[in-house]
Chains A and B, each alone.
Chain A
């Protein structure tokens, strides 16, 4: 399509600018919305990770203090040194409910090396004599210093400390261990941050049958098949769909990984996860963080719509002003010249174009006026010559 009028061409160009400008603003706003969402997710992950570390340190300190107090009890030490299980149980069992109420769910005594078997489980006294063969067992036997860290058992993940027990002669008679299920940490995290959490365990480190058995014991649904690479050990949200991750937990970066947004009706959530390592440094799981950003997202969208409206209005007003100025300073003056030129040729020699402008159109107006004067003079001379003839 070919347009003769410059006005139409300019109008089309300005409308294109309006559309492009609006499109750019929309894209820019979308970009900032996504970036803000990512920032919120990153902040949620980073904050939760720091809080998790603080909680771990606090609980390790608590369990260390408990073990220190226990080691001051000579009756307990003697009973353990004598490997008198009944007496040790009688002495320690009354203490266990109180420790359990403090979150210490696991309490074990281990024989010394080389056997290193479980001598007594306060949380399951009927079961003993088994060998756990974990990193922290080997490490405490190697160093005879207290060792702490996360240990993933076949059906659960716990923060544990293990320390040597000495008899009155300073000989190691075995080891005592305290542990807290990591699952309870997510509830503490939720109460402090308001975010939702899920504790994910890499299936490579969990025994499927044991998971099924423990699920039956704890009367929870066996969720082994819900996800390909991990099982959800515990979560604070009732929504199963919100905890989704298709990657390998072992590849989650140290500082965490931000996942895509999740929408549920009008609610918007950002999600992230950070790795959880065991005492040996293996990434055996991850903490899934879910933050409800519905209120923030709604505000962002509202701001986006306002900005979009302001942009469209501003550009429209700008276009109107440009067209008005072009019309006044160029197009109307060009039309006046065209009209004067036409009338001049038609015999109206009196229509002057007066201007005091020196702009481009003004120069044309002055040029036309000079041309008009010359034209009128030439016509007069020709007429005079014809009359003379």
Chain B
């Protein structure tokens, strides 16, 4: 599994655990990361820049270090 997918799972977990508005949180992270989370699958290849941007988006929106 790719690192991007792991991050996507992390996001879903946090949303479920926190009872957050899934569409809104996913939307904010997607806009900041510059990619749709729906398109991230276990086979999505990693790219360092994409991973870094997604991590930063998670930190900005969920305030956690992925």
**Which B residues, 13 to 41, have Cβ-Cβ distances below 8 Å to chain A?**
22-31, 36-39
How many angstroms from the CA of A344 to the CA of B22 in the assembled complex?
Answer: 11
A343, A379, A382: the one within 8 Å of B24 (CB):
A343
Do the beta carbons of A342 and B27 come within 8 Å of each other? Answer: yes
In contact, B28 and A347 (Cβ under 8 angstroms): no
B19 to chain A minimum Cβ distance, whole angstroms, is 16
Query: Cβ of B23: which chain A residues have Cβ within 8 Å of it?
Result: 342-343, 346-348, 351
Interface of A is mostly: helix
Q: Is A345 an interface residue (CB 8 A)?
A: yes
Within 8 A of B (CB), among A343-368: 343-348, 351
Contact for B22 among A339, A341, A346, CB less than 8 A: A346
Query: Which residues from chain A contact B38 at a C-beta distance below 8 Å?
Result: 347, 379
CB distance from A336 to the nearest CB of B (A): 13
Chain B residue at minimum C-beta to C-beta distance from A341: B27
Chain B residues whose C-beta falls within 8 Å of the C-beta of A339 in the assembled complex: 24
Q: How far is the CA of A348 from the CA of B26 in the complex (A)?
A: 10
Q: Which of A342, A347, A379 contacts B31 (CB 8 A)?
A: A342
Main secondary structure of the interface of B (DSSP, over half): helix
Measured CA separation A338–B24 after assembly (Å): 11
Chain A residue nearest to B25 in the complex (CB): A346
Residue on A with the closest CB to B27? A346
Provide the bound-state CA to CA distance between A347 and B11, in Å: 14
Q: In the complex, how many residue pairs between chain A and chain B have their CB atoms under 8 Å apart?
A: 38
Please report the C-alpha to C-alpha distance between residue A341 and residue B31 in the assembled complex, in whole angstroms. 10
A339, B26: Cα distance in complex, Å? 12
- Give Cα A379–Cα B23 distance, bound, in whole angstroms: 16
CB distance from B18 to the nearest CB of A (A): 15
State in angstroms the CA–CA spacing of A382 and B41 once bound together.
14
**Chain B positions within 8 Å of A344 at CB level:** 27
In the complex, A348 Cα to B23 Cα: how many Å?
5
Question: Which of A341, A343, A345, A351 contacts B36, CB < 8 Å?
Answer: A345
Q: Which B residue's beta carbon lies closest to that of A344?
A: B27
Query: In chain A, what residue has the closest Cβ to B41?
Result: A386
Which one of A341, A347, A351 contacts B26 once the chains associate, using CB atoms below 8 Å?
A347
Chain A residues 228 to 256 lying within 8 A of chain B, measured CB to CB, are none
Given the complex of chains A and B, what is the CA–CA distance between A255 and B27 in angstroms? 82
Query: Complex formed: what's the CA distance from A339 to B27 in Å?
Result: 9
CA distance A348 to B25 in the complex (A): 11
What is the CB-to-nearest-CB distance from A367 to chain B, in angstroms, rounded to a whole number?
18
Complex Cα gap A382–B24 (Å): 22
A379 to B38 Cα, complex, angstroms: 10
Contact at A345–B31, with CB atoms within 8 Å? yes
How far, in angstroms, from A341 to B38 measured CA to CA in the complex? 15
Closest Cβ of chain A to B58, distance in Å, is 14
The residues of B that contact A347 with a CB separation of less than 8 Å are 22-23, 26-27, 37-38
Q: Which of A342, A348, A351, A382 contacts B28 (CB 8 A)?
A: A342
Query: In the assembled complex, which residues on chain A have CB atoms less than 8 Å from the CB atom of B29?
Result: 346
Which residues of A sit under 8 angstroms from B25, Cβ to Cβ? 346
Measured in the bound complex, the distance between the Cα atoms of B39 and A382 in whole Å is 10
Interface residues of B (CB under 8 A from A): 22-31, 36-39
What are 23 contact pairs spanning A and B, CB under 8 A?
A: A339-B24, A341-B27, A342-B23, A342-B24, A342-B27, A342-B28, A342-B31, A343-B24, A345-B27, A346-B23, A346-B25, A346-B27, A346-B29, A346-B30, A347-B22, A347-B23, A347-B26, A347-B37, A347-B38, A348-B23, A348-B27, A351-B23, A382-B39
Top 6 A-B residue pairs of the complex, sorted by shortest distance between their CB atoms: A346-B27, A348-B23, A346-B26, A342-B27, A346-B23, A343-B23
Known: A346-B25, A348-B24, A351-B23. 13 other contacts (CB 8 A): A342-B27, A342-B28, A345-B27, A345-B36, A346-B22, A346-B23, A346-B24, A346-B27, A346-B28, A347-B22, A347-B26, A348-B23, A382-B39
